[in-house]
Amino acid sequence: MTLKRSFLVLVLLAFLPCSSGAAFAQEPITARTPATPLVLHDPYFSVWSFADNLTDGPTRHWTGTPQQMMGLVRVDDKTYRFMGGDRWGEGTPGVPALKQVSRAIWPTRTIYDFENAGIHLALTFFTPALPQDLDVLTRPVTYISWDVHSTDNQQHTVALYFDATSQLATNTGEDTVVWGHEWIGDMQALRVGTNTQPVLEKSGDNLRIDWGWLYVAVPPQQGVATSATSAEARDQFVKDGTLPKSDDLDMPRAVKHGLPLLAVRFDLGSVGSTTVSRRVMIAYDDRFSIEYLNRRLRAYWRRNGMTTAEMLEKAEADEPELRRKGEEFDRELTSDLEREGGPHYAQLATLAYRQTIAAHKLVADVDGTPFLFSKENFSNGCIDTVDVTYPSSPFFLLLNPKLLQAQLEPMMQYARLPRWRWPFAPHDLGTYPLANGQVYGGGERTEDDQMPVEETGNLVILTNALAHAENSAAFAQKYWPLLTKWAEYLKEKGMDPENQLSTDDFAGHLPHNTNLSIKAIEALGSYAQLAQMLGKTKDALAYRKLAQQMAAKWKDMAFDGDHYKLAFDQPGTWSQKYNLVWDRVLGLHLFSPQIVQQEMAFYLKHQNTFGLPLDNRKTYTKLDWIVWTATLSGSQDDFTALTDPLYKYMTESQSRVPLSDWFETTDGRQVGFQARSVVGGVYMKMLADPAMWKKWVLAASPAAQ
């Protein structure tokens, strides 16, 4: 089949209806997870529960540093906790926990249910992370709501208490903060931030934000009281159900001395069988978010001059409709995930959803162009790393390709500058949140310190994937000289890569890497497809022929009996050939189907309890690559066999951290990394169904343009 015809078939298939048959469940995650997402927006505003019960300990930043939010409920003059640890200061008596009876995780919502003392309390964290609407997606607002009713046919006097501490606006306990109260229309807003406001002064990995302002905004509701004060507010609520009468506004205070906090109290009065509801918004205004090539950029929601007050007012006005859209989105996505990969796969992808988004920051360039910058969480802290964009790309290709373009754009702009003198692609743009130039390997030092074939292949493949998603090669046209230079580099260096790093750099340098060679070959096939889309027929035919010849040569060089080698010169070795998945997803059809058949049979014989090792050298693995490997085959049985151990890892791992993508297949323990965007790679299974891919891309198109 010719390239042009194969691409046409892919497009036509995309418009066929999704597979029919039995209805699929629209279910949240109710099983145990390593950690539970609560308030997730970006690498600095990302708060989790690291325990099974929300009352088993403090809420934490994804790094594990406490960023406490406290929830108390007073029922008939007795106080219980529904969020946070049982002690918060020296000499403070313990407060009993309200019994948690369930916890459910949807793509945009986390819902806890509690019962005791004659009441049922439902606590919902709703982040409208709707990728089709960039204006909503970029708003740093999570809605926290409570629904309370009686369970024993009796009336109960109920009051609710919620606070967010200044830890959410500080890097360490040594930071001093100031806080205050304001009115935004008829909405009360409490805020706290550091006294010094060192905007974009720090970069690195294990850091929290220490500039900007944390807000707790309270729409008009009955029985509300607010206080920006210290932790004595908790003690007073426990004692008599009230808050301090005056705010301690004027004195800067270190976090460790008195733990300044933003507190809200709701007096619900007498509650019976009819549900009584209350809510707040928790938000973060970071003022400036990213520095790109020495210019400071603001969050995307600010691009037209919107103020924090206007953003909060808009968020409040939009809440009912956003909640409806969020619930509809959750049901639709979870149903499609289960249809494509089964219930265990659907739950894994659901847990990955908000984590993938929150490892990025969406900003506007000076002309309003959206830029989406990733952070390598607990890896090396790099920003806009190409081999992080690569594994997370299926998430964005499915749900809004414009967001993948927003990741590629700043990297491509940098790569064509005179300062980037290499014939291959960069690895990163700096250390988050400063995107002023590559730092990997000591900056732009030597080829040995970098990932030449890896990153070059990644960017060519991703540009082609973007063109498939949008049915347009306009982005490729914009950077065609750069793509051509990279294709020429891969033509020379890609067949049998020299001793260099790949994205799995934790495994060290490896010469003659067969999986890396696959990437180079598929990148050349991708270049041919792009050339065809742009009417460059001569180049398309030449590079298509070259890629076909290289793929045939690869099969002979890598063959090792019943499987294919880790490295061309190492018989008796093996590895996951996860890069091969693009051959199916992009309709490249360069490699013999026999390769997939042999590899899949081999993989199924070499799994451990918690998954398939990355290769024969170690027993550890990568979560994203297993799903890519499982997607190689069109067999649902093979897919389930390879991915069910990932569900076991998700529900049984002893490492209580936001989902780690690098873990041991023998015992499920984290090896490294956590809360990274690469878990978005689990959405690769959805891309392998052209109809499913087209369905979601079309859903994104009206709002994304």
Type of residue numbered 289 = S
Q: Please state, for a pLDDT cut of 90, what percent of the chain lies above it.
A: 85
- Say if residue 256's pLDDT is above 70: no
The CATH class for the domain spanning 36-307 reads mainly beta
Query: How far apart, in Å, do the first and last CA atoms of the chain sit?
Result: 33
Over the chain, what is the mean pLDDT? 92
Contact 681, 628 (CB under 8 A): yes
Domain map (residue ranges) of the chain: 3-19+369-704, 36-307
For 76, 303, 334, 340, 356, the CA distances from 350, given in Å and listed in that order, are 38, 30, 7, 13, 10
- Say if residue 448's pLDDT is above 80: no
Answer yes or no: CATH 1.50.10.10 is held by domain 3-19+369-704. Answer: yes
CA–CA dist 278, 271 (Å, integer): 13
Question: CA nearest 680: which of 657, 659, 703?
Answer: 659
- β-partners of residue 291 are 296, 434
**Per residue in 77-112, pLDDT tens?**
999 999 998 766 554 568 999 999 999 999 999 999
The predicted structure's pLDDT at residue 89 = 55
The predicted structure's pLDDT at residue 506 = 76
The predicted structure's pLDDT at residue 504 = 82
At 579, list the tokens. Answer: 């890069």
Which residue is associated with the tokens 């506004």? 249
The predicted structure's pLDDT at residue 251 = 55
CA dihedral 662, 664, 669, 671 (to 10 degrees): -40
The predicted structure's pLDDT at residue 515 = 97
The predicted structure's pLDDT at residue 505 = 76
> Which stretches does DSSP call E strand in 239-302?
253-254, 261-271, 276-285, 290-292, 295-299
Question: CA nearest 379: which of 15, 43, 39, 26?
Answer: 43
Note the Cα 154 to chain centre separation in Å: 44
The predicted structure's pLDDT at residue 391 = 98
CB atoms closer than 10 angstroms to residue 23:
8
Burial class (CB within 10 angstroms; exposed 0-12, middle 13-18, buried 19+) of 576: buried
Type of residue numbered 584 = R
**Per residue in 532-553, pLDDT tens?**
999 999 999 999 999 999 999 9
